[in-house]
A = this chain, B = another copy of it.
Amino acid sequence: MSNKITIAVDAMGGDNSPYKVINGINHHFATSKNVFYKIFGDEDIIKKIIPKSLPFSSFELIHTKDHIKGNDSALSAARAKDTSMWLAIDSVKKKDADIIISAGNTGALFVIAKLNLKMIEKIDKPALAGLWPNKNGTNVVLDLGASIDCSEKNLVDFSIMGSALFKALFPTDESKVAILNIGSEEIKGHEIIKKAYELLNTNNNFNFKFNGYIEGNEIMDGTSNVIITDGFTGNVALKTAEGTANFITNELKKTMTSNLIGKFSSLINIKNINKFKKRLDPRLYNGAILLGLDSPVVKSHGSTDYIGFSHSLTLCEKIISGNFIDKIKQTIN
């Protein structure tokens, strides 16, 4: 293992792989020279498509015979030990890599990761964290679906891990934690949330600010940047936001191009429209992070392209250079 950050990359998961993965690595390498890529996948295909701009010193190609398909069940996937996903995770387990990324089957990734990697001491349940735009920057939101039923202890653990992730990604910003609830008053919400509020509100040893409760419409306000919830609620919130964003942009497209005047004015305003598109480009927020294991596991969206994949490689790099795991352990001990 070199001085560089080593990322174990499952090259075979998601749509249009390994092409988008290899192009994503190449795109990422153009801006970052501090990463060594351990690429797991079918060498017959990958050797042909690795671009010359990627020097041999920047990567290692590990041939894997098999790979997990999108519709494989998590359990059957966990039995196959010669897949690109399994071997990429195994390299993290053996400390040959610092972090693992895959755009493949989410269920399989989580099951294999949990089978191979240890939980961080004193953390009982994993959480899936995602990045979400807000008015002033970016939120970390968790759990997005790893742990459906959560105790107050789990929610406090999520606060510690989410805050550590935020500080690793945005070292100069203060992490401000809030619990997602259905009202801002202390009496609102169910018992587990109220107990978590109590625990977070009375403990002064945390290295984050606790802002209390926020409601769904305040997630993107920017007053808090680490949003805590159980995996069921978080998953519904994330997907509802995605659905709403798609609905609105589709409606906008429909009305803006429904006649000649609309098309013409959109054409002359193309720069602003592109600026708007860029602000909400989901590729900028690509990459969900499974927290709680001894090594972070990054899941790229399966349908993203090489630019999105490259963004999630940057995410991997920041998580390791920001000493994410150490930050969690410091807070817990």
User: Cβ of A272: which chain B residues have Cβ within 8 Å of it?
Assistant: 255-256, 258-259, 261-262, 265
User: Cβ of A237: which chain B residues have Cβ within 8 Å of it?
Assistant: 216, 236-237, 240
Q: Does A268 contact B (CB under 8 A)?
A: yes
Q: Does A215 contact B (CB under 8 A)?
A: yes
Q: Does A279 contact B (CB under 8 A)?
A: yes
- Contact, CB under 8 Å: B217 / A240: yes
A294 → chain B, closest Cβ, in Å?
A: 26
- Contact, CB under 8 Å: B216 / A238: yes
A303 → chain B, closest Cβ, in Å?
A: 13
Q: Does A145 contact B (CB under 8 A)?
A: yes
Interface residues of A in 128-170 (CB under 8 A from B): 133-135, 145, 148-149
Q: Does A16 contact B (CB under 8 A)?
A: no
Q: Does A56 contact B (CB under 8 A)?
A: no
- Contact, CB under 8 Å: B244 / A149: no
Interface-central residue, A180, A189, A232, by most chain B CB under 10 Å: A232
- Contact, CB under 8 Å: A276 / B247: no
User: Cβ of A149: which chain B residues have Cβ within 8 Å of it?
Assistant: 190
Closest to A232 in B: B182
A229 → chain B, closest Cβ, in Å?
A: 8
| Interface size grouping (class) on chain A | 35 or more
Given contacts A215-B239, A251-B280, contact A182 B256 (CB under 8 A): no
Q: Does A122 contact B (CB under 8 A)?
A: no
Closest to A249 in B: B248
Q: Does A111 contact B (CB under 8 A)?
A: no
Given contacts A145-B182, A148-B190, contact A255 B243 (CB under 8 A): no
User: Cβ of A233: which chain B residues have Cβ within 8 Å of it?
Assistant: 232-233, 236
- Selected from B218, B248, B266, the residue in CB contact (under 8 A) with A280 is B248
Q: Does A186 contact B (CB under 8 A)?
A: no
Q: Does A308 contact B (CB under 8 A)?
A: no
Interface string of A34-67 (1 = CB under 8 A from B): 0000000000000000000000000000000000
- Selected from B190, B219, B264, B265, the residue in CB contact (under 8 A) with A266 is B265
- Contact, CB under 8 Å: A216 / B235: yes
User: Cβ of A126: which chain B residues have Cβ within 8 Å of it?
Assistant: none
Given contacts A249-B248, A251-B280, A276-B252, contact A241 B239 (CB under 8 A): no
A137 → chain B, closest Cβ, in Å?
A: 13
Q: Does A275 contact B (CB under 8 A)?
A: yes
- Contact, CB under 8 Å: B148 / A189: yes
CB-CB nearest 4 A-B residue pairs: A216-B239, A216-B240, A217-B243, A265-B269
Interface residues of A in 193-217 (CB under 8 A from B): 215-217
- Selected from B238, B240, B243, B265, the residue in CB contact (under 8 A) with A265 is B265
